[in-house]
Structure 1
Amino acid sequence: MPKSKRNRPVTLSKTRKKGREHKEAIVNSIKQALEDYSSAYVFTFENMRNLKLKEFREQLKSSSRFFLGSNKVMQVSLGRSVADEAKPGIHKLSKFLRGDAGLFFTNLEKEEVQRLFEEFEEHDFARTGCMATEKVELKEGPLEQFSHEMEPFLRKQGLPVRLNKGVIELVSDYVVCEEGQPLSPESARTLRLLGIKMATFRLQLVCRWSPDDFEAYREGLDLSDVESS
């Protein structure tokens, strides 16, 4: 009997796409931040951890504001050239909003901003696809840190294990990951079980703008197109 076309699954968890109104709100917020704060920075990030960033934002909310999202929307907010820039010279920041980047507006002195960003980091367990920072190898023998109930789970992660008198043991040496190689889902889960953290969430300043100055922080940045514009 053919299936009824009326019996179609309906997803109740669909979310409304962020449209033009949302983008316009971001543009307006960034333009307002240009009025409220004395300087603006572009920063990049790696191994993003939302909870840690939220804590950092909360710490600085009285003096600063962060923006993360579409680089194109942030570029439009600042202006991409002298002709459409929101403030004199601010379009220079747009050229560095690439990849995993954000904007930071603040009234803090630049020395204080540099100190805060240099000290900010969070060590955490690496996720699937992250590059291993070291080789991790388990030697043949008992894995006494795990209870016997873990044996089926460890086996699913690819570990050559067996139960011997209620103790999990490796029947041969096993390489969990190789340095410089991306982590598989199984490797990431195993490292978490072993308590080995390979990811560090960092924020790195790229450049700074103020009404009187533009400054690049990272060595090797190509400033030729910025200085000529």
Structure 2
Amino acid sequence: MPRSKRSKLVSLTKVVKKTKEQKSALMQELQENSEKWRYCWLFEVGSMRNAHLKTVRKLWKDSARIFFGRGAVMAKALGITAEEEHRPGIHKLAKQIKGQVGVLFTDTPPQEVIDWFVDFKQPDFARAGNIASRTVILPVGPVMRHHSDPPEPFPHNEEPQLRKLGLATSLNKGVPTLTNAHELCKKGKPLTGEQAQLLKLIGHRMVAFRVGLIARWDAETGEVEQIEGPGALTPEERIGTVIGEEDEGAMSE
């Protein structure tokens, strides 16, 4: 019997590949920007969030041009060898374009760029796999949401979800309540999906989006300088930028 067309499996995750024309246009745009601006910065991101990267683009739109992703295309456009490089010396930066990194073209003085990115941190909720920056213990009594000041208890209709995520709650006068203290997460331990979801529901931010600078190319000298110290990401930030308990209040302002 012939196979029914109705039983055909259709993938909903198919990604449309970039055409050769689109890649060529991107390469041309990168090369044009390398001729327009004095500096080209290579950067990486800790706790990647598209919304926060869009904020960075918006804040720099009048004084810089940012490209993120498609590393192989960016590297090829700039040239990864001295023979292929589009501008003198830029191959020393292009050959470092690997993984999830981006480039930023600007005329802004280097120290201003470094200072800006050191200060720019956006608190966010951790995801599964991030490392807990502190131990969170939910006390006996109503389960509170910290999205507002002062915190408020969860509504009764969210009690089933809290139980599903691992909290032994019961309704007390219509309020989800704990009869025993519950250790939600432990400092230094990776978060499970349930723990990450609970932290988000309760309002505890444990990570921060931050842009780390890797290297800078100078069109006037053709030299590439590696960035170390405050402008760069730490190893911990690369796997999920962690904010301490003392930083959470200041960063959420």
TM-score between both structures, scaled by the size of structure 2? 0.78
Number of positions where the alignment pairs a residue of Structure 1 with one of Structure 2: 219
Where structure 1 has 5 or more consecutive residues not aligned to the other structure, the ranges are 222-229
2-side partners of 1:36 and 1:127: how far apart? 39
* Higher mean C-alpha displacement, 40-49 vs 111-120: 111-120
Is the contact between residue 46 and residue 100 of structure 1 (CA under 8 Å) also seen in structure 2? no
Q: Offset at 1:75?
A: 1.3
1-side partners of 2:36 and 2:176: how far apart? 61
Secondary structure in structure 1 of the residue aligned to 2:104: strand
1:33 aligns with 2:33: yes
Question: Which residue is 1:70 aligned to?
Answer: 70
1:144-183 equivalences in 2 (<5 Å): 145-183=153-191
1:127 aligns with 2:127: yes
| Residues 17-55 of structure 1: CA deviation (Å, up to 9, x unaligned) | 223332222211111111111110111111122222222
What is the identity percentage for the equivalent residue pairs of Structure 1 and Structure 2?
37
Secondary structure in structure 1 of the residue aligned to 2:111: helix
Question: Which residue is 1:205 aligned to?
Answer: 213
- Equivalent of residue 193 in structure 1, options 173, 195, 201: 201
Question: Which residue is 1:115 aligned to?
Answer: 115
| Residues 87-118 of structure 1: CA deviation (Å, up to 9, x unaligned) | 11101112332333110111212122122212
Is the contact between residue 123 and residue 198 of structure 1 (CA under 8 Å) also seen in structure 2? yes
Secondary structure in structure 2 of the residue aligned to 1:205: strand
2-side partners of 1:21 and 1:150: how far apart? 50
| Residues 97-145 of structure 1: CA deviation (Å, up to 9, x unaligned) | 2333110111212122122212211111112222221111113333251
**Please, what is the CA RMSD of the aligned residues?**
2.3
One-letter identity of the residue aligned with 1:5 = S
* Higher mean C-alpha displacement, 150-159 vs 132-141: 132-141
Where structure 2 has 5 or more consecutive residues not aligned to the other structure, the ranges are 145-152, 233-253
Secondary structure in structure 2 of the residue aligned to 1:54: helix
1:215 aligns with 2:214: no
Question: Which residue is 2:239 aligned to?
Answer: none
1-side partners of 2:53 and 2:202: how far apart? 26
TM-score between both structures, scaled by the size of structure 1? 0.86
